[in-house]
Amino acid sequence: MAWIITKYLLTAGMVVFISEVAKRSDRLGGLIAALPLMTLLTLIWLYVENQSEEKIANHAYYTFWYVIPTLPMFLLFPYLLPKLGFWMTMGASVVVTVICFGLFTLMMKSFGINLL
Express each pLDDT in 31-85 by its tens digit: 888 888 889 989 999 999 999 999 999 999 999 999 999 999 999 999 999 999 9
**For residue 114, with 0-12 CB atoms within 10 Å meaning exposed, 13-18 middle and 19 or more buried, which class applies?**
exposed
Residue 29 lies in a domain: no
Q: Do 60 and 43 touch, CB atoms closer than 8 A?
A: yes
Q: How far apart are CA 87 and CA 17, in angstroms?
A: 23
66 falls within a domain: yes
Rounded to the nearest angstrom, the gap between the alpha carbon of residue 107 and the centroid of all alpha carbons in its chain is 21
Assigned domain for 32 exists = no
Residue 114: inside a domain, yes or no?
Answer: yes
Exposure string (b/e) for 11-27, b if CB count within 10 Å is 16 or more?
A: eeebeeebeebbeeeee
Q: How many Å separate Cα 23 from the centre of its chain?
A: 20
pLDDT of residue 7: 87
> How many whole angstroms separate alpha carbon 62 and alpha carbon 101?
13
Q: Is residue 12 part of a domain?
A: no
Q: What is the pLDDT of residue 89?
A: 98
Q: Is residue 41 part of a domain?
A: no
Integer-rounded Cα radius of gyration of the chain: 17
Domain count, the chain: 1
Write out the residue range of the structural domain in which residue 69 sits. 52-116
